[in-house]
Chains A and B, each alone.
Chain A
């Protein structure tokens, strides 16, 4: 899995590409901890753009859950957007879409971030 991070307007987008599975989860987790746990830069919102995310295993879901918790602790709005149908299904099935905001696309995510709610 590849991971890109870009900041546009007031939102930092995390863009994973490929499979977020057992092997990829530790790197993803570390990158998210660096991004969310540093406490040096106050990011208003962090959104995972899932357009390139092909697959998320349970280990991948756990990494996303940990990121969501870290964001909550740091007072950063956190969510996902543009999930592929298969990943969206995993999110719905696991109940994660009830505790982590999932947006249709970047525009929706940005609008929510501007309103200051996830």
Chain B
């Protein structure tokens, strides 16, 4: 212990076992809990050692205190020496460490004690400089952590992008499926023509239209709007549509059909969604229209000469909100050349960049002025008008439209 470590070093280098070196490296160069504890111990001793200079200078210190300070001095030097040796062993090149700045400071802190018993604690104050080194080390570690986190983040981003692309692809498939289950063509009936369109605001929508072929060549027309949009609305739309189609065949009265559909939906509605539905049955032979309304915007009739009227009749409650409610059925006799325009509020409640509503009046104008042609042409015209009005404002709600003409060859 008393021998100079400098003289030991050349021989040690060859003989030190790999396990000893590994232990030394673990303690003075590692990042584990032992290394951190050891580092803290050394720092505490440096501070203690410097503080003891101040303590010793207090006049009239009792004998036991002076004694305790002397003992602590010996313990501190012993621990520092142990650390110094460990650092030499741990270093790849022991000599380089000894002559490094830190090595010299460490040696200076202990050497005088061994050589001349010189009280060199003030020299030990130099070791406080190690605090600076530790700060530097921490900065270095911090930089590496940041680098690693950045790399991890990039990897995660890539994974997220991939997942998102996959989700998007799946949603696109779901969107195509949803649009595909809506009937593409109006049933062939002499004297009747029809067209429809659905434009979801997001990938999937909650609006829908439907044509249902009923006995005696009658046709059921449905236009509906599920609250909200996106995937939940799309699922509820599918459930509502299936129920309505099934019940429409069994109930010839539209009001009764809606009441039954409402009860069915209330029983299978975990998300508390609801759907507004306008449902009517057209007899193509007579032009008689029976209809019932569950909270939906009332359709318009465009008379052959041009005037546009709203259907009348009190609306019932939206479907899915509360079971066992009634829906009155109303009747209207269509005249030759009349057109029925069924729509959802995605049309009338489209906004422009100044937050103005498209409004029913614009729709009515379009229907009056441009409603004389085919149903398909009128739908195109309305969609274009809404798109022009909205301008840069994104579509905030699904749009569905159905136009049916009666009494034209």
Residues of A within 8 A of B (CB): 21-22, 25, 55, 57-59, 61-62, 65-66, 69, 92-96, 98-99
Contacts and interface: CB of A to CB of B under 8 A. Distances in A.
B297 A93 contact: yes
Contacts of B349: 55, 57
Size range of the chain B interface in the assembly: 20 to 34
Interface stretch (B78-86, B170-178, B221-229): B221-229
B327 to A, nearest CB: 9
A22 B229 contact: yes
Interface in B334-371: 345, 349
A93 B229 CA distance: 20
A94 B276 CA distance: 7
B315 A95 contact: yes
Contacts of A94: 276, 295, 315, 317-318
Interface in B290-320: 294-297, 315-318
Given A58-B227, A94-B295, A99-B322, 5 more contacts: A25-B228, A55-B349, A58-B345, A61-B318, A99-B317
B227 A95 contact: no
Nearest to B318: A94
A58 B226 contact: yes
A58 B321 contact: no
B317 A58 contact: no
B225 A58 contact: yes
A61 B396 contact: no
B397 interface: yes
Given A94-B315, A95-B317, A22 B396 contact: yes
Nearest to A26: B228
Contacts of B396: 21-22, 57
B274 A57 contact: no
B295 A59 contact: no
Contacts of A21: 396
A107 B40 CA distance: 71
Given A62-B273, A65-B272, A66-B272, A96 B229 contact: no
B317 A59 contact: no
B294 A59 contact: no
A22 B317 contact: no
Nearest to B230: A22
Nearest to B275: A58
A25 B296 CA distance: 20
A37 to B, nearest CB: 14
